[in-house]
Structure 1
Amino acid sequence: MQREVRMAGKTVVVSFAGQRRQVLAGTTVWEFFREFWGEVPLDVLAALVNRRMVMLDFPLRGLQVELEAVRAGSRLGETVLRRSAVLLLLAAAAELYPESRLVVGQSLGGGYFFSWHSQLPLTQDVVTSLAREMERMCQEDVPLTRSVITLEEAEAAFRARGEASKLELLATHRSSTVPVVSCGNFLDIAHGPVAPSAGRVRGWDLALYEDGILLRFARNGKQELLPLWPQPKLFATYRETRQWNEAVGIAHVGSLNRACLSGEISEIIRIAEGFHEKKIAQIADAIAARPQARVVLVAGPSASGKTTFIKRLGIQLRVCGLHPVGVSLDNYFVDRDKTPLDEEGKPDYESIEALDLPLFNEHLKALLEGKTVAVPKYDFVRGKRAEPERWSTLKLEPGQVLLIEGIHALNPRLTEAVAEESKFRIFISALTQLTLDDHNRIFTSDSRLLRRIVRDRLFRGHPAVRTLEMWPGVRRGERRWIFPFQEQADVMFNSALVYEPAVLKIFAERFLLEVPREHPAYTEAYRLLKFLAWFVPVFQEDVPSTSILREFIGGSAFEY
């Protein structure tokens, strides 16, 4: 642990675990924890100092400090553990295969996929040797060290290592210093805290996957990993998006920033939107090529752009001679007093049991048989189904297809009365393939979170703090009700746009600054602000009115 020179005569009052203790200013978090516990527990990876996440070598300063330990089993602890394991892998690769290059990619199979760039073929022996080197570092408890160097020193170091992606990222860095983290001889830009040493990095595994390496992680602080289930459709979607990015010359944030400053971004926006339109047209063609498919099911997580996607898909279906008819699952909610309860005893509106499945399946079957059904209307004010006289009738005419959107759309139970050949399933999400640089990925869910923060603040009257409070619950629902069924889709649509963080930055930064520093959500707001600081902003004028991004920033040609 690094030690800071104590500030003579100055003390800090530290509030931790319900106690208040006075220590010398400059005392590190590690030293405080060691004095508090006698020995720092192995599952303590980092800390929150006044709700900002820091490494354990962080010096405590100021008059008063609110301190929390970040443990491996927590959500924040998982991010530290993953970042630390990535650092170990990159250090192992630099040590064993210095002429080769690993490039981080998508989240997959409970871990991160890395592509292998080398004249040396990637084999199981290579993967095994990397895992053994990582295990050696863990057994020897090799330190993971953070430091701050000048911008010029950082550029010189990365230039000597041939790290072009990091040099491009630093080209628009406006601080005179750069935080870096090292393990052995490997140096990286520090985009967040890592564990103090390799011995605390547990619950990981390396696997050969397709033509790359999968670094997998355990969850909730456990060391045993779940079985690896192949996800060929998701992997193919990631690959397709990476090819789109390569086609426009944008693989990481540094190249995006360069395009923003050069003026190329206008053309990149048009090409990115063109890829979207082409893909939507291909999906419509696939539906039209299956005349027996009369039910189109669209599922996706929050802020994936489902509403705009469906409207654009509807246009392309009409081009193919089909007429989509929407059916809202909201009208099939059970009465509020019959809604299932979650673990906390609160109504779980995201549960599939919150829907009247028998009635919905009965109506689907009747519609496909050419019958007329009375579609119920749900009264959300009273929390119960409206009177029958307020219901509407629906009949599926020749050339029409039912378009059903919802979080449960791909769950077989929702449409169990419908023959498989009558269904066409679509999964949509914002699966960003943009990375900060070759070694630092962007959380896939961050794209959706930023979209939702902007939309909620602009059009729903919800401040960023409320969106951030709700987000963990939203994510839990997605993991339970959406993602387990994504591989059952006939086709996946990636709604991410390579340029969108640069546009969202203008809105999101302003709204995140409204989050009070004393609020628990400030930890996440602070992280997102640091992330957005790497982007050169882009004004929205070049974003087409039919873009999925318009659903979140306004100015859409569609009505919502």
Structure 2
Amino acid sequence: MGEVKCRINIHGNVREYVPETTYKQLAKEYQKQFPDDIVLVLVNNRLRELREKAESGNLTFITTADKDGRKAYRRSTALLMQKAVHNLYGEEKITVRIMHSIAQGYYCELKRNEEKNGASEQAEWVAVDEQMLRDLKQEMQRLVEADFPIEKHSLPTADAVELFRRLGMTDKERLFRYRRSSRVNIYELDHYKDYFYGYMVPSTGYLKYFDLTLYKEGFMLLFPGKDTRKVDIFVPSDKLYLTLEEASEWGHTMGVGTIGALNDAVSAGRIQEIILIQEALMEQKIGQLAEQIKEGHHKKFIMIAGPSSSGKTTFSHRLSIQLAAHGMKPHPVPLDDFYVDRDKTPKDADGKLDFECLEALDIDRFNNDMTSLLNGDATELPVFNFKTGKREEKGRMMQLGEEDVLVIEGIHGLNDRLSYSLPQESKFRIYISALTQLDIDEHNCLPTTDGRLIRRIVRDARTRATSARETIAMWDSVRRGEEKNIFPFQEGADVMFNSALIYELAVLKQYAEPLLFAIERDCPEYLEAKRLLKFLDYFLPVPADNINNNSIIREFIGGSCFNV
């Protein structure tokens, strides 16, 4: 009998290969057919790394233009950077910490570790200068040219915990104390070992496109954007950076800067205290915001915008209450009421109604009504009937007095094209997003997008009878709308408000997991569901029983005192 071969259906073309063939070899054979670099494969609806041996089944190549490929490229480049820092400064006990994801890059800082009582702990921050950054980039480029393999090892969880203890990676040591799985995958680059949340490229030779630039107290590790072979130009987002820093500092002050630390607090019975402090802090911030608006005597239009599942509705209610407590008279005005009739709604490139573009709103009607109100005239505001798809006049009259303000919420709130006729001094712009305070560990940021997606999965299942599969299926489209209509305007906000709660994923876990487990293996959304389940598995669960009914998390899990 001849040798049994693997039968692989590659994008509709069935081929046979000897069993020792790797996916890397197949990728090299087919690379010329793709404009972007192949970094992973999808085999029988399961992601596989290129270093693995091929198996029979249906295969799709994943490139750096794909979401999963882009993530693999970025985390692999992070490992490359860590190794370069270790090579240059390891003897000085200097390590790198990935702090935040900003634009098309990671904000990083260098820290000098010190030994105290036999234990390694992070101590002083290390200033980075241009020469250090040049040296770091040069060392990263040397590693790329050397094309070192990135190897994967499976360790018993107990051994992984001991490894990270020896390496001084205390965040990972804490994280894996609560690991339910018996084994952990560790990656190794030229004797440097670490753990990463996701798949990697097979070697450093794949990581040709990156750059470094000084920023704030550290530096940015920059990646390609839409052009996968060209690093995006870095546009500073100073307000976003300050908001992320504030959240991070608060988390560390509370002693819960990472998932492992949060789990420690849960197991030690401290979580109720943390919930109460977090909710008190959020109420305090909303009160300070109301006071700031009160002091701006000419502010009549409070424009609120933010990405999906940021908690805009609850925030608007709570801000309105605080404004009232400061002697003002707030009136909610949803931008949805200014939709054009459905038969006039523009269509997107796929021929579907595009409700997220600015032209889906009657901009002229909005400006005429707002200008009339600003002039002190009694004005009738429309109400949009979502059943008939038409705007209606229902006698909704309004007139602004000295203390009246309009709280306007919608995705285009920060875009001046929406409110072109209103004086700048009459507007107060608020950008709201859920920017989590937690990190997974020293080198793995917790993606804020994942937190918002989990919020939406839970809310949509409860309020719209939408399955997790349906929510995941539409998420990429939602994200494209955010990148076009919301994120470009975030730095123009007067205030950025962070709606993330440090404990929320531990609460959302119990609601989201059953919904994600319901997604069948053969569904296209199964991979994302599996990834989110792995992510939620990091958290110990926290019951929602004692969470206030005005909490932002109630907008998603239910039990809110507001009509959300």
Matched, 1:533 2:537: yes
Matched, 1:111 2:117: no
Of the three residues 417, 421, 426, the one matched with 2:430 is 426
Residue 443 of structure 2 aligns with which residue?
Answer: 439
Of the three residues 317, 322, 333, the one matched with 1:311 is 317
Residue 220 of structure 1 aligns with which residue?
Answer: 226
Matched, 1:272 2:278: yes
8 Å contact 1:334–1:385 — kept in the other structure?
Answer: yes
**1: CA distance between counterparts of 2:31 and 2:550?**
58
CA 1:480–1:255: 2 relative to 1, 3 Å: same
AA partner of residue 496 (structure 2): M
**2: CA distance between counterparts of 1:9 and 1:531?**
41
Residue 283 of structure 1 aligns with which residue?
Answer: 289
Matched, 1:410 2:388: no
SS at match of 2:418: helix
**2: CA distance between counterparts of 1:482 and 1:458?**
26
Of the three residues 58, 61, 64, the one matched with 1:72 is 64
**1: CA distance between counterparts of 2:390 and 2:34?**
54
**2: CA distance between counterparts of 1:489 and 1:38?**
45
CA shift for structure 1 position 22: 4.6
* 1:55-99 CA-partner distances (Å, limit 9, x unpaired): 1123445xx533211101222211111111111111111111111
- TM-score, length of structure 1 as denominator length: 0.94
The range that moved more, 10-19 or 408-417, is 10-19
Unaligned runs of 5+ in 2: 113-123
CA shift for structure 1 position 416: 1.3
Of the three residues 490, 495, 499, the one matched with 2:494 is 490
AA partner of residue 208 (structure 1): L
* 1:6-47 CA-partner distances (Å, limit 9, x unpaired): xx9766543321023455667532344456679999811111
In the TM superposition, 1:126-141 aligns within 5 A as 126-141=132-147
* 1:97-151 CA-partner distances (Å, limit 9, x unpaired): 1111211111113211112213653211111111111111111212111121222
CA 1:533–1:10: 2 relative to 1, 3 Å: farther
Residue 481 of structure 1 aligns with which residue?
Answer: 485
**1: CA distance between counterparts of 2:269 and 2:18?**
52
SS at match of 2:72: helix
**2: CA distance between counterparts of 1:192 and 1:509?**
19
**2: CA distance between counterparts of 1:450 and 1:518?**
21
Matched, 1:557 2:561: yes
* 1:492-539 CA-partner distances (Å, limit 9, x unpaired): 110111111111111111111111111111121111111111111111
8 Å contact 2:75–2:196 — kept in the other structure?
Answer: no
CA shift for structure 1 position 242: 1.0
Matched, 1:93 2:73: no
CA 1:472–1:29: 2 relative to 1, 3 Å: same
**1: CA distance between counterparts of 2:322 and 2:3?**
72
Matched, 1:516 2:520: yes
**2: CA distance between counterparts of 1:289 and 1:416?**
24
Of the three residues 308, 321, 330, the one matched with 1:302 is 308
The range that moved more, 241-250 or 461-470, is 241-250
Of the three residues 356, 362, 375, the one matched with 2:368 is 362
AA partner of residue 176 (structure 1): S
Matched, 1:52 2:46: yes
8 Å contact 1:204–1:223 — kept in the other structure?
Answer: no
Unaligned runs of 5+ in 1: 1-7
Residue 379 of structure 2 aligns with which residue?
Answer: 373
Residue 121 of structure 2 aligns with which residue?
Answer: none
**2: CA distance between counterparts of 1:469 and 1:40?**
25
Of the three residues 203, 207, 227, the one matched with 1:201 is 207
CA shift for structure 1 position 202: 3.1
AA partner of residue 79 (structure 1): K
- TM-score, length of structure 2 as denominator length: 0.93
CA shift for structure 1 position 337: 2.7
**1: CA distance between counterparts of 2:257 and 2:522?**
37
Of the three residues 240, 247, 251, the one matched with 1:245 is 251
CA shift for structure 1 position 470: 0.6
SS at match of 2:296: coil
CA shift for structure 1 position 345: 2.6
8 Å contact 2:505–2:539 — kept in the other structure?
Answer: yes
CA 1:171–1:95: 2 relative to 1, 3 Å: same
**1: CA distance between counterparts of 2:433 and 2:218?**
23
AA partner of residue 404 (structure 1): I
Matched residues, percent identical?
40
8 Å contact 1:304–1:429 — kept in the other structure?
Answer: yes
Residue 14 of structure 2 aligns with which residue?
Answer: 20
Residue 3 of structure 1 aligns with which residue?
Answer: none
SS at match of 2:540: coil
CA 1:439–1:397: 2 relative to 1, 3 Å: same
SS at match of 1:376: strand
- Count the aligned residue pairs: 549
**1: CA distance between counterparts of 2:95 and 2:176?**
20
CA 1:372–1:149: 2 relative to 1, 3 Å: same
8 Å contact 1:34–1:40 — kept in the other structure?
Answer: no
8 Å contact 1:74–1:221 — kept in the other structure?
Answer: no
SS at match of 2:545: helix
Residue 120 of structure 2 aligns with which residue?
Answer: none
Of the three residues 341, 353, 361, the one matched with 2:359 is 353
CA 1:286–1:32: 2 relative to 1, 3 Å: same
